[in-house]
Amino acid sequence: MNNWDEKWSQFLRDSESKHKYAAFVLLTAYLFINNSINAASSWTEFSRSDNNSVALWEPYVWEYSSALSTALLVIPLIIAIRILDQKVKVGATWLGWHFAFASLFSVAHVSLMVAFRKLVYLFSERNYDFGIWLNEFIYEYRKDVWGYITLITFYYIARFGYQRLIGEASPIARDTSQITNENVASTLPDYLLVKKLNKEFLVQVTDIQRVEASGNYINLHTHVGVYPLRYTLGRFCEEGAHRGFMRVHRSHAVRIPAIVSISYEETGDGTIMLNNGQSVALSRRYKDDLKQALAPNQCKFHF
């Protein structure tokens, strides 16, 4: 990998927490630019008629209300898709859920779009009429389903390319033919294999400081970077317990030797400070287990 690729990959890892916001801004910008072009085209068609009664601002209200509705629905839609990918494997059931999501997306999109248009028209002397609801909804539904397919296709392609670029980890396969102890076979190996573009790297498991759940994946945070691994957080903590990994939150786990201090709030929740300067939320649900694990060294921490 050349220096430019490495610097770009490192930049992506370092700025990972901001990527979802950047993606939302880019998608919103695309929607409004695309719909501005559509509005201008519609106005051109209306203005060609001598009997045109449509005001210049109306096509823009129609298109922008659609763009705004789509942008507002993207966040809950992506959350739902990530939960689906975590719970259901690709197949007929997975496709069925996506069909349900597409239908709900269309209903919500049309409802919000019409509501925004009616709100804007309240401040004008004109009236807004959506038309015969059944006919118009069928028309919008066909467009929304195609838009949904385009959106999730782009989402999966972008996610695949993103994971290849920042690096994706996988446990190194071990020869279990000579292993008779099931507990040994179900523990994490010493190293993980990170595939990044056309190269492979080794990451020592003990270099991982914290782990974060992310849909079908968990993100492994080391002092070098962040690597996604196709694992559940519960499984990783179970197999990595002998290496000091402990779950401290529904979405977070830490490696105990990386802990510097722990502070608590009045609610019982807390914050864990790591030796790399990062903080991790501690849920009161896991507080007692963590205290028990740290019992021999409690004097180090603020209990």
Closest CA to 143 of 112, 96, 110: 110
Query: pLDDT at position 176, please?
Result: 41
Burial class (CB in 10 A: 0-12, 13-18, 19+), 293: middle
Query: pLDDT at position 62, please?
Result: 94
Query: pLDDT at position 1, please?
Result: 46
Name the packing angle between helices 133-166 and 16-47 (round to 10°).
140
Structure-model confidence comparison of residues 180 and 287, the more confident one: 287
Asked if residue 281 has pLDDT above 60, the reply is yes
CB atoms within 10 A of CB 168: 19
Question: Helix H segments across the chain?
Answer: 3-14, 16-47, 57-87, 92-121, 133-166, 182-185, 233-239, 284-293
Return d(Cα 210, Cα 226) in angstroms, integer: 10
Q: Determine the average pLDDT of the residues in 50-66.
A: 92
Asked if residue 217 has pLDDT above 90, the reply is no
DSSP string, 179-217: ---HHHHTS--SEEEEEETTEEEEEEGGGEEEEEEETTE
CB atoms within 10 A of CB 181: 8
Structure-model confidence comparison of residues 13 and 108, the more confident one: 108
Asked if residue 248 has pLDDT above 80, the reply is yes
Asked if residue 184 has pLDDT above 50, the reply is no
Mean of the per-residue pLDDT values of the chain: 84
CA distances from 33 to 42, 44, 63, 289 (A): 14, 17, 10, 52
295: confidence class by pLDDT, cuts 50, 70, 90: confident
CB atoms within 10 A of CB 244: 16
Structure-model confidence comparison of residues 3 and 254, the more confident one: 254
Query: What is the per-residue pLDDT across 139-176, written as a single tens digit (0 to 9) for each?
Result: 999 999 999 999 999 988 888 777 677 667 777 765 44
Query: pLDDT at position 181, please?
Result: 45
Return d(Cα 7, Cα 246) in angstroms, integer: 32
